[in-house]
Amino acid sequence: MLFRIGILVAAFIGVKIYDKYINQQPASNKPLELAEKSHKSLAQMTNIDESEQLCNHFFKVSTVSLGLSLLTGVFPLFYIASLGTILYTCIPILKRGQRQLLERRTIGHDVLYSLYIILAFLTNQELYIALGVFFYHSGAKMLAMNQAMSKPMISDLVKKLPDKIWVLKDGIEIEVPLDQVMVGDIVVVRAGEIIPVDGTISEGFAMIDQHALTGESQAEEKESGDQVFSSTLIISGQIHVQVTQAGSDTNISKITEILNNTSAYTSSIQLKGEKWANMIAKPVFALTILAIPTRGLATATIVSHSTFGNRLRIVSPIGTLNYLHAAFNKGILIKDGRVIEELGRVDTVLFDKTGTLTHDQLEVGKIISSHDRYSSEDVLSYAATAEQKLTHPLAQAILEKAKESGLVLPSIEDSSFTMGYGISVTIDNQLIRVGSARFMELENIVIPPLIQSAIEQAHLEGNSLVLVAINTDIAGAIQLVSTLRPEVKDVLNGLRQRGIKHISIVSGDHKIPTQKLAESLGIDSYFYEVLPQQKAEIVRQLQQEGKRVCFVGDGINDAIAMNTANVSVSLSGATSIATDTAQAILMEGSLTHLCDLFDTAHKLKNNLWRSLVLITVPTVISLGGALFMGLSLGGSFVIVYSSFVLALLNAMSPILEYKDISKEIKKGLKKGFKKTVALKQSPRKIDSDQVS
């Protein structure tokens, strides 16, 4: 007995001295420096976390150790090799136990397991040490796997801005690095370019897509004196921007900084099993110490081993991971295992409006003819012909409607862009102008009362109206609207059935369209004309009222609110920052499986409680048998690990439940992946990611 414990102590002290010696040596004299660098380089190349590699390593060695221990019973020659591998796999546990006890001054699972190892050495139970350590490292491996799955992938938005921009100096445009731009400089930005700074327009006017910040798909007309923001896109026109904020001071950079500051949050979340393991460690530790003088070392060893903490550390992450896979099989990618625990407590769902409840792509609504000589079909045909070479959302919606209507578009004889507000083309010797009301006013074209009334109504409803003029007369107008996703009503009803008490909308749109949508869907509350920072404030406001909030969004403007919410959900095909920030992604690009996400949370909760019962009841039997019936350590292992097998089968139940995946789900997943990959790989899509 003393020989074995002496070997354990000597090995532990030797490792501590070696660690201290290595840490005190100059960097150039460390013998393992080169190997360590190579190891880290390999880890970076293969994208494997170093801690996960260590877990994998000790899991493999502990498996070998268990095999050698079993062979030792038949072939004693294997004893030295078996003892060596046991010591090697025990040392990390003993070191963790020492740090937990002496540095953190607490008794947790690692302290308890260290005590079990020491007592088992004192009672000559090497085989059961090897078996126990094998299960310990198995649990550590499973925890490392779970943490690896939950790492966030925060995008660096600033790097998507151009490296160099054009600055006006003494009337001459000079190309300079973006990081050298200063407040007060005049930056020149043209159609198709991303505005790289926050500032005020000093000259020119343009149509600007601000979806990156406001979340709204409607382009905004901006002219001299108006404020513009970094990472928004100029659809048409040209402007001179006097810089008010550049670099890290811009709104988009502040959003990025907030996201990066919270990026490590989810990776530090512990699973329930880990928490439970530490919670029960103190009473079991005390019971073990009490059993040494009253029941002897053998009984105390069984008591220290009978704790269910380590088995829960294994079963809990297995069950969690299997439910993550089961959810994925239904079209839900869960990046943070905390989500399916948190969702069980969520009572409020806050939806972003544009791109989440409504389709991001605009559609043509009413086509208004205001002149006797032109039909609505003529109005659409002329507008589509003028817009056919443009790529902004308004043009694409008009062209799609013309395609659906089967219109054959005539060729353009000539075309000219008027900065910001519209386009002029010549068709059949007629001058066609297509654009906003302001564009028509600049062209000295009188807007008839019918169209003026339609403009006012469109503004109230949050829609866009594109006017079409032929020569000097307004021929008509085309209404462009956002359409509700078809699955929204069923999803909202499903959420109510699952106990969601409060559903709300948050939007950058005007009050009337937001209010009308909320009333039509029976939504409890709504927030309108909301900026990105305000969305997060709304989430905090709801939380201060005692609500637990799930935020569902799709844009850069939603990112801070996502990090603030208890749970964040996005859709495949949304902006990169939204999908990177979200803890769960609906891979089919729709809200259809949002209710399935809540169902997964409910099933996991029940599964974890079943596992708890399956493990704790036999543990109590084992403790009682050791203290009052002379149960051996081998008998204890049989009892607790028989129940452990049942708990493992329970943890595997999600795989059995979802083993048959329908072809429709597979097809939807493939479609979602292709859409996401296209957004990541296509240069054109990457640009649009910043503003969509």
Contact in structure between 596 and 330 (CB atoms under 8 Å): yes
Q: Are residues 439 and 555 in the same domain?
A: no
- Residue 318 forms part of a structural domain: no
Q: Report whether pLDDT(426) > 80.
A: yes
Cα 502 from Cα 222, distance rounded (Å): 37
- Residue 124 forms part of a structural domain: no
Q: Domain range spanning residue 207?
A: 158-256
Helix (H, G, I), strand (E, B) or coil at 345: helix
- Residue 98 forms part of a structural domain: no
Q: What is the pLDDT of residue 9?
A: 67
Q: What is the pLDDT of residue 416?
A: 58
Q: Report whether pLDDT(629) > 60.
A: yes
Using pLDDT thresholds of 50, 70 and 90, give the confidence band for residue 643.
confident
Q: What is the pLDDT of residue 109?
A: 78
**Residue closest to 441 by CA, chosen among 225, 205, 219:** 205
Over pLDDT 70: what percentage of the chain? 74
Q: What is the pLDDT of residue 648?
A: 82
pLDDT in tens, 503-537: 999 987 778 888 888 888 999 999 988 877 788 89
- Residue 470 forms part of a structural domain: yes
Strand 502-506 and strand 348-352: pairing?
Answer: parallel
Q: Are residues 473 and 519 in the same domain?
A: no
Number of structural domains found in the chain: 3
**Residue closest to 513 by CA, chosen among 479, 487, 466, 477:** 479
Q: Find the range with the poorest average confidence among 369-383, 463-477, 621-635.
A: 621-635
Using pLDDT thresholds of 50, 70 and 90, give the confidence band for residue 541.
very high
Q: Are residues 532 and 450 in the same domain?
A: no
For 23, other C-beta atoms within 10 Å of its C-beta total 8
Q: What is the pLDDT of residue 320?
A: 74
Using pLDDT thresholds of 50, 70 and 90, give the confidence band for residue 231.
confident
Cα 483 from Cα 53, distance rounded (Å): 49
Q: What is the pLDDT of residue 332?
A: 81
Cα 252 from Cα 156, distance rounded (Å): 10
**What CATH number corresponds to the domain at position 210?**
2.70.150.10
Q: What is the pLDDT of residue 544?
A: 93
pLDDT in tens, 448-480: 999 999 988 887 777 778 999 999 899 999 998
Contact in structure between 222 and 407 (CB atoms under 8 Å): no
Q: Report whether pLDDT(496) > 60.
A: yes
Over pLDDT 90: what percentage of the chain? 14
Per the DSSP assignment, residues forming a β-bridge with 174 are: 167
Cα 495 from Cα 503, distance rounded (Å): 9
Q: Are residues 506 and 566 in the same domain?
A: yes
**What CATH number corresponds to the domain at position 514?**
3.40.50.1000
Output 598 or 353, whichever has higher pLDDT. 598
Q: Find the range with the poorest average confidence among 3-17, 372-386, 587-601, 668-682.
A: 668-682
Most confident among 47-51, 121-125, 317-321, 387-391 (mean pLDDT): 121-125
Q: Are residues 235 and 367 in the same domain?
A: no
Residue type, 469: A
Q: Using only the alpha carbons of the chain, give its radius of gyration.
A: 33
Contact in structure between 188 and 221 (CB atoms under 8 Å): no
Q: What is the pLDDT of residue 99?
A: 87
Residue that terminates a domain, selected from 481, 511, 533:
481
Q: Are residues 543 and 679 in the same domain?
A: yes
Q: Are residues 348 and 367 in the same domain?
A: no
Q: What is the pLDDT of residue 241?
A: 93
Q: Are residues 438 and 564 in the same domain?
A: no
Q: Are residues 463 and 575 in the same domain?
A: no
Cα 531 from Cα 213, distance rounded (Å): 7
Handedness of CA 199, 200, 205, 209 (dihedral sign): positive
- Residue 35 forms part of a structural domain: no
Q: Rounded to 5 degrees, what are φ and ψ at 551? A: -105, 130
Q: Which helix (H) or strand (E) holds 166?
A: strand 164-169
Residue type, 394: L
Q: Are residues 456 and 510 in the same domain?
A: no
Cα 636 from Cα 626, distance rounded (Å): 8
Q: Are residues 559 and 450 in the same domain?
A: no
Cα 176 from Cα 384, distance rounded (Å): 39
Q: Tokens 């869960």 — which residue?
A: 334
Q: DSSP assignment of 188-225, as one string? A: EEETTPBP-SEEEEEEEEEEEE-HHHH---S-EEE-TT
Contact in structure between 593 and 309 (CB atoms under 8 Å): no
Contact in structure between 113 and 314 (CB atoms under 8 Å): no
Helix (H, G, I), strand (E, B) or coil at 436: coil
Laid out side by side, the sheet with 414-418 consists of 363-369, 473-481, 464-470, 430-435, 422-427, 414-418
Q: Rounded to 5 degrees, what are φ and ψ at 239? A: -140, 155
Q: Report whether pLDDT(402) > 60.
A: yes
Residue that terminates a domain, selected from 481, 513, 539:
481
- Residue 393 forms part of a structural domain: yes
pLDDT in tens, 172-199: 889 988 888 888 999 999 888 888 888 8
Question: And the tokens for 598?
Answer: 């809540």
- Say which residues have a Cβ less than 8 Å from residue 679's Cβ, sequence separation at least 6: 573, 576, 685, 686, 689
For 14, other C-beta atoms within 10 Å of its C-beta total 12
Q: Rounded to 5 degrees, what are φ and ψ at 279? A: -65, -40
Question: And the tokens for 289?
Answer: 């110490």
Length of the chain: 692
Q: What is the pLDDT of residue 262?
A: 36
Is 621 exposed, middle or buried (CB count within 10 Å of its CB: 0-12, 13-18, 19+)?
middle
Q: Rounded to 5 degrees, what are φ and ψ at 507? A: -150, 150
pLDDT in tens, 238-277: 899 998 887 666 655 655 554 444 333 333 334 555 666 6
Cα 39 from Cα 238, distance rounded (Å): 52
**Residue closest to 188 by CA, chosen among 419, 431, 391, 384:** 419
State mean pLDDT over 432-453: 89
**What CATH number corresponds to the domain at position 474?**
3.40.1110.10
Residue type, 570: S
Q: Are residues 406 and 500 in the same domain?
A: no
Q: Find the range with the poorest average confidence among 287-301, 323-337, 341-355.
A: 323-337
State mean pLDDT over 134-158: 58
Cα 450 from Cα 129, distance rounded (Å): 87
**Residue closest to 596 by CA, chosen among 485, 498, 486:** 498
- Residue 127 forms part of a structural domain: no
Residue that terminates a domain, selected from 237, 256, 275:
256
Q: Report whether pLDDT(155) > 50.
A: no
- Residue 381 forms part of a structural domain: yes
**Residue closest to 366 by CA, chosen among 380, 383, 386, 385:** 380
Q: What is the pLDDT of residue 143?
A: 60
Question: And the tokens for 105?
Answer: 């001054």
Residue type, 12: F
CA dihedral 438, 439, 444, 448 (to 10 degrees): -60
Output 659 or 562, whichever has higher pLDDT. 562
Q: Rounded to 5 degrees, what are φ and ψ at 592? A: -50, -40
Contact in structure between 352 and 550 (CB atoms under 8 Å): no
